[in-house]
Copies of this chain bind each other. A is one copy, B any other.
Amino acid sequence: MSTGPHPARYRGAPREQPSLENWQEPPHNRWTFAHLGEIVPSAVVSRRAPHPTGAVSRLNRLAPGLPDLEARLEQSYTDAFLVLRGDEVVAEFYRDGFAPHDRHLVMSVSKSLCGLVFGSVVDEERIDPAQRIVQYIPELAGSVYDGPVVQELLDMVIQVDYSEDYVDPASEVQTHDRAGGWRPRRAGDPADDYAFLASLRGDGTVGRFQYSSAHTDVLAWLIERVTGERYVTALSERLWSKLGADRDATITVDPTGFGFANGGVSCTARDLARVGRLVLDGGIGPGGRAVSQEWIDATFAGGDPAVMDDHFPGGFENGSYTRQWWCMGNERGNISAIGIHGQNLWLDPRTDSAIVKLSTWPEPDTDEWHRVHSRLLLDVCLELEAW
């Protein structure tokens, strides 16, 4: 178990951590020269020959029942769309300018990835979801997290003074962005994401669903605390290395190197579908078991619809949220990872299918946009079932 506030980017080094100020100096350079993209924004220099211009559209197998699918994808700002049924990619679409091997920001789909990593830590009994959060992270004493138990984080039933209004500069989500490196810093901002999380307050009530990106980052902090590893490392070792992934994923990091677990992952559509495959397969991937069948079963079983607010995305009356996944509560048993601007990893157990949709809606999210996606995803499920 780490003794510091969080795992250092590297071990055996001075307390001082690498930064934009010192990364060129010893001893930091032994680590930073292999991780410079964590310090200085960096572009990918592709090893692949240039991708031919024009969209990639392999939707013909869905076309009989969904002749307007491509138009619907284009109208909903789709960058990538993929249907993986069993082990077969039965449909795929990439807009002009976005290649199948390109990574795409998945926003809050990242939360569902964190949920799976967290499950692996629970499986190992390194953490007990029934225990209080501050038992593991004393630094959160006095914050909104001083009192609630870990399971309440997983299911997002902690009331917190945190506005998730993405376009309001005064909202906590924008302060969170600034602490996490997603927006230019302002005077008085918390030094890093950990400090931001410790600054959050609430009225002490639990039990009603309130979606908050902060909760996921506390889960990632818990993972770091009980494993002694960076969240970046845990995400690789406990999930990404199990997938048989084509490409590495990336995750944005705050100034201390803390991965932005709530929304910072980028990956290819195909690799995200592999996450869906692993979940549909009860937690096992080509690289081995990531998380227990029990954790997966509990995720599919869903949470308590009675604690939900009235903003379940896509308008599912019996929808619920548990373990960082949205559970539709419909008879198909669909669950989905969902991110703003139109990111979905939608699982359909009935047809053994994972559907990925990566988009760039012009708005973060609206009820209508979620309904457009829900209709499209359900239509695809029905078409798959009709085969």
A21-B243 contact, Cβ under 8 Å, with A41-B41, A360-B26: no
In the complex, are the beta carbons of A182 and B241 less than 8 A apart?
A: no
Q: Does A105 belong to the interface (CB within 8 Å)?
A: yes
Query: Quick one: which of B49, B245, B264 contacts A42, CB cutoff 8 A?
Result: B264
The verdict on A350 contacting chain B, using a C-beta distance below 8 Å, is no
Closest to A28 in B: B360
Tell me whether B248 and A42 are in contact (CB under 8 A): no
Cβ contact of A45, chosen from B21, B240, B362, cutoff 8 A: B240
Q: Which of chain A's residues 36-65 have a Cβ closer than 8 Å to chain B?
A: 36-50
Partner of A47, one of B24, B39, B241: B241
**Complex Cα–Cα for A237 and B240 (A):** 29
Q: Are A251 and B47 in contact (CB under 8 A)?
A: no
Given A33-B104, A104-B33, A360-B30, are A47 and B243 also a contact pair (CB < 8 Å)?
Answer: yes
The verdict on A79 contacting B250 (CB below 8 Å), with A43-B38, A47-B243, A47-B245 known, is: no
Question: How often does this chain occur in the complex, in copies?
Answer: 2
CB distance from A6 to the nearest CB of B (A): 14
Say yes or no: is A311 at the interface (Cβ < 8 Å to chain B): no
Cα-based distance from A241 to B44 in the complex (angstroms): 12
Give bound CA distance, A46 to B341, whole Å: 26
A229 shortest CB reach to chain B, Å: 10
Is A246 among interface residues, defined by CB-CB distance under 8 A?
yes
- Looking at the complex, which of A203-211, A252-260, A327-335 is the stretch in contact with chain B? A252-260
Taking A42-B264, A43-B232, A249-B45 as contacts, is the C-beta distance between A360 and B33 under 8 angstroms? yes
Q: Check A37–B249 contact: CB distance below 8 A.
A: no
Having A24-B364, A46-B240, one finds 9 other A-B pairs with CB under 8 Å, namely A32-B105, A43-B250, A44-B250, A45-B249, A45-B251, A47-B248, A48-B236, A49-B237, A50-B237
Whether B33 and A253, one on each chain, are in contact in the complex, defined by CB atoms closer than 8 angstroms, is: no
Given the complex, which residues of B lie within 8 Å of A35, measured CB to CB? Answer: 43-44
Q: For residue A298, give the distance in angstroms from its CB to the closest CB of chain B.
A: 25
Residues of B near A29 (CB, < 8 A) are: 341, 360, 362
Q: Mark A247-282, 1 if CB is under 8 A from B, else 0.
A: 111111100010100001110000100000000000
A5 at the interface (CB under 8 A from B): no
Residue of B nearest to A21 (CB): B184
Whether A37 contacts B44 by the Cβ 8 Å rule is yes
